[in-house]
Amino acid sequence: MIEREDTIAHTARLERELRAAQSRIAALEREVELQSRYVRDLNGRLAGLLSVSAALLINHDIDAIVQLVVQNAINLFPGTAAAYIYLANHETDGSLHLRAAAPACTPAPYIFHLAEVAAKAPRALLLNGPELEYFIHQQQSQAQLPTTDAGAWPQSVLLAPLRIEIQRIGALIICGERLSHLYHPRDLPFVQSLADLTVIAIDEIMQRQRAAALQRDLAHTQSLRAEAEARLNAAQAQLLQSAKLAAVGELSASVAHEINNPLYAARNSLYLVEQDLPPDAPQRTFLTIAQQELGRIARIITRMRDFYRPSRGELTSANINALLRETLELVTTHLRHNHVTVHARLANDLPPIVAHADQLRQVFLNIILNACDAMPSGGELTVSSELIAARAGAPATLAISITDTGVGIAPEHIPHLFEPFYTTKPHGTGLGLAISAHIVTQHGGRITVDSQPGVGTTFTILLPLEAPAAS
Ligand code: ADP
Ligand code: MG
């Protein structure tokens, strides 16, 4: 009897325990189900973020990126009615401007206030019901705006700042469907990640744009530097040449001065001797030779003095074509005698140039006589003039070319042509081109040579229209 009652009580206890265990199992099962749903949800969102990040990294346009982010926000956060991105305009006052909205629409004014809250926040925020109301009211009273009807607000928003290190570049706003939806704090790390991905993509584009701009600046600066260097080199070369010529000129002038007096005395003495010699004296031949040679020395001395003599004549408005014609007239007989045919190709639109006409005539004469010397058995002499219009960095220039069909100049002689006393002629002085270069340099110009042995030579005189005042 007692045994039976014990058994019944035992069974009842066991049944109670069984029921308790079953309900615990059921509770655990529910929790497992919840957890696995959460894990599925988590996986889904991670996959979503991953695909957004892949899409962001292949986009190279800020507008395309922000558009992609707001569209994906709607899928990533179920129950979302709209998403917005505002970006700060750092070129002006740094104020926020709507850059993307999904669905495309003009957001209500309070969205802008939320964007201001979000942009200043240190990290992502979740605002539900009363908090949301508090923030919107606060922003509206700060901005002194009429309050928006509370019925128009969503119940829940997710906000995230967009920032590159400490620089605030904007905000992401995700609004839940009105009345029904509340976001969960679990959503916060995802909003923050989405905002971070957006910032990384935008930052990359900005860096790339900055790098491209720097590269353009660098290339521009380099080309400016190269140009300046080339101009400096040319100016230095010209300076060196004129310094050399000036030094040699100074020396020649003082040597000429020293020689002139004894030369004068010697010529006078020879003259006196000549007066006393009988007309048929055999010494007369030697006397004549001595007189001729002293005459030659006197001419060389005169040219040497020309070298450093302060310029004769005034700076005038000179017509280059007229100067060339006058010079050619001067040597017509000489040229004809040497079987040289002259071709003049003078441009008829040459403006006048401020110059020492006498000096330029001397330059043309020197070069024409050299050309004639280079054609011992005749040939063609072409004299041309033209105006070269101003180009970047180079002023308008007159170019005068004198071309012969003579013997030409061996390349090894070219670098020395303008050195004083450099001559290949038995009776040359080697001063013609040195003086010419000096004169042209004084006019702010230069002389170039182009020659081919056996074919001929062209000397080109370049004179800037606006020459620095020649001295
Ligand atoms: P010079 O005529 O007294 O020799 P220049 O200074 O006028 O002195 O000329 C220097 C040298 O340049 C000449 O001796 C000659 O060798 C060379 N030269 C100048 N012009 C020509 C030319 N047109 N053709 C060939 N050689 C030239
Ligand atoms: Mg000469």
All structural domains of the chain with their residue ranges: 1-44, 45-205, 314-464
Tell me the two tokens of residue 321.
Answer: 């074509």
Count CB-CB contacts under 10 A for residue 418. Answer: 23
Q: Of the candidates 82, 87, 89, which has an alpha carbon nearest to the alpha carbon of residue 104?
A: 82
Q: How many CA atoms lie within 13 A of 358 on its CB side?
A: 8
- Which tokens is 160 given? 């995230």
Ligand 1 centre to CA of 379 (Å) is 16
**Amino acid of residue 162:** L
Task: Please say if the pLDDT value at position 328 is more than 80.
Answer: yes
Mutate to test the pocket of ligand 1, among 367, 381, 423, 431 (most ligand atoms within 8 A of CB): 423
Task: List the one residue out of 417, 437, 327 whose CA is nearest residue 372.
Answer: 327
What share of the chain in percent tops pLDDT 90? 42
**Which residues have CB less than 5 Å away from ligand 2 (the ion)?**
370, 432
Q: Which ligand is nearest to the CA of 435?
A: 1
Going from the Cα of 424 to the center of ligand 1, the distance in angstroms, rounded, reads 7
Q: Does residue 65 or residue 393 have the better pLDDT? A: 65
Question: What is the pLDDT confidence band of residue 145, given thresholds at 50, 70 and 90?
Answer: low
Q: Taking 90 as the threshold, does the pLDDT of residue 155 lie above it?
A: no
67-117 tens-digit pLDDT: 999 998 988 888 899 999 999 987 778 899 999 998 988 888 888 888 988
Mutating to test ligand 1, I would choose from 340, 405, 417 the residue with most ligand atoms within 8 A of its C-beta, which is 417
264-280 per-position pLDDT tens digit = 899 999 999 989 889 88
CA 20 – CA 470 distance, rounded (Å) = 118
Amino acid code (one letter) for 445: G
Higher confidence at residue 395 or residue 462? 462
User: Can you read off the two tokens belonging to residue 114?
Assistant: 């939320």
Q: Which two tokens stand for residue 275?
A: 């007066």
Q: Whose CA is nearest to atom 21 of ligand 1?
A: 370
How far lies 13's CA from each of 101, 140, 193, in Å? 64, 66, 54
> Measured in angstroms, how far is the CA atom of residue 60 from the centroid of ligand 2?
69
Is the peptide bond prior to 189 cis by the omega test (within 30 degrees of 0)?
A: no
* Cα–Cα distance, 333 to 372 (Å, whole number): 12
The CATH homologous superfamily of the domain defined by 45-205: GAF domain (3.30.450.40)
- The span from the CA of 452 to the CA of 359, in Å, is 28
pLDDT bin (cut points 50, 70, 90) of residue 314 is confident
Flag the least confident range among 246-255, 312-321, 381-390, 426-435.
246-255
Q: What is the pLDDT of residues 188-206, one digit of tens each?
A: 999 999 999 999 888 888 8
Q: How far is the CA of 432 from the centre of ligand 1 (A)?
A: 8
Give residue 471's pLDDT.
43
**45-59, 297-311, 346-360: range with highest mean pLDDT:** 346-360
Residue 242 confidence (pLDDT): 66
Q: What is the mean predicted confidence (pLDDT) over 336-344?
A: 96
Average predicted confidence (pLDDT) for the chain: 87
Query: Which of ligand 1's atoms lies nearest the C-alpha of 422?
Result: 10
What is the pLDDT, as a whole number, of residue 40? 86
Confidence of residue 134 (pLDDT cuts 50, 70, 90): confident
Q: Is the pLDDT of residue 241 over 70?
A: no
Task: Tell me which amino acid residue 68 is.
Answer: L
Q: What is the pLDDT of residue 459?
A: 98
pLDDT score, position 20? 93
Backbone region of residue 300 per phi and psi (left: phi > 0; alpha: psi in -120 to 50; beta: other values): alpha
Identify which of 110, 112, 60, 61 has the alpha carbon closest to the alpha carbon of residue 85.
Answer: 112
What is 314-464's CATH number?
Answer: 3.30.565.10
Question: Looking at the predicted structure, is the pLDDT value of residue 308 above 80?
Answer: no
Instruction: Give the residue-averaged pLDDT of 283-300.
Output: 88
Burial zone of 228 (CB within 10 Å; 0-12 exposed, 13-18 middle, 19+ buried): exposed
- Report the pLDDT value the prediction gives residue 149, as an integer from 0 to 100: 56
- Considering every ligand atom shown, identify the ligand nearest to the alpha carbon of residue 430 and give its number: 1
pLDDT at 251: 76
Residue 458 has phi, psi (to 5 degrees) of: -125, 125
Binning pLDDT at 50, 70 and 90, where does residue 453 land? very high
DSSP per position, 242-256: HHHHHHHHHHHHHHH
pLDDT at position 130 is 79
Strands 446-452 and 456-464: what pairing?
antiparallel
Query: What pLDDT does 306 receive?
Result: 66
Residue among 335, 370, 405, 436 to mutate when testing ligand 1 (max atoms within 8 A of CB): 370
Atom 23, ligand 1: residue with shortest CA distance? 371
Mean pLDDT of 231-239: 78
Residue 177 pLDDT level (bands cut at 50, 70, 90): confident
| Ligand 1 centre distance from Cα of residue 318 (Å) | 27
**SS in 3 state form for 285-335?**
HHHHHHHHHHHHHHHHHHHHHHHHCCCCCCCEEECHHHHHHHHHHHHHHHH
Nearest CA to ligand 1 atom 26: 409
> What's the pLDDT at 144?
59
| Ligand 2 center from residue 272 Cα (angstroms) | 34
Nearest ligand to residue 429 Cα: 1
Ranges of H-type helices in 96-171: 109-120, 129-142
- 396 CA distance to ligand 1 middle (Å): 29
User: Rounded to two decimals, what is the model's pTM?
Assistant: 0.49
Q: Give CA angle at 59 (58, 63), nearest 5°.
A: 165
Ligand number, closest to the Cα atom of 410: 1
Q: In the predicted model, is pLDDT for residue 320 greater than 70?
A: yes
Can you tell me the mean pLDDT for 211-232? 92
Compute, in angstroms, the gap from residue 424 CA to the centroid of ligand 2. Answer: 10
- Note whether 344 and 386 are within 8 A (CB): no
pLDDT at 260: 84
Ligand 1 atom 16: residue of nearest CA:
424
Query: Over pLDDT 70: what percentage of the chain?
Result: 92
Evaluate if residue 384 carries a pLDDT over 90.
Answer: yes
**CA of 365 relative to ligand 1 center, distance in Å:** 12
What is the pLDDT, as a whole number, of residue 124?
Answer: 92
- Ligand whose nearest atom lies closest to the CA of 431: 1
94 Cα distance to chain centroid: 30
Predicted pLDDT of residue 233: 85
For ligand 1, which residues put their CB under 6 angstroms from it? 366, 370-371, 374, 404, 406-407, 409, 413, 417, 422-425, 428-434, 457
Average pLDDT over residues 304-314: 63
Instruction: Check residue 67 and give its pLDDT.
Output: 92
Write out the H or E segment, with its range, that includes residue 81.
Answer: strand 80-88
Tokens for 198, please give them. 């957006």
Residue 467 has pLDDT above 70, yes or no: no
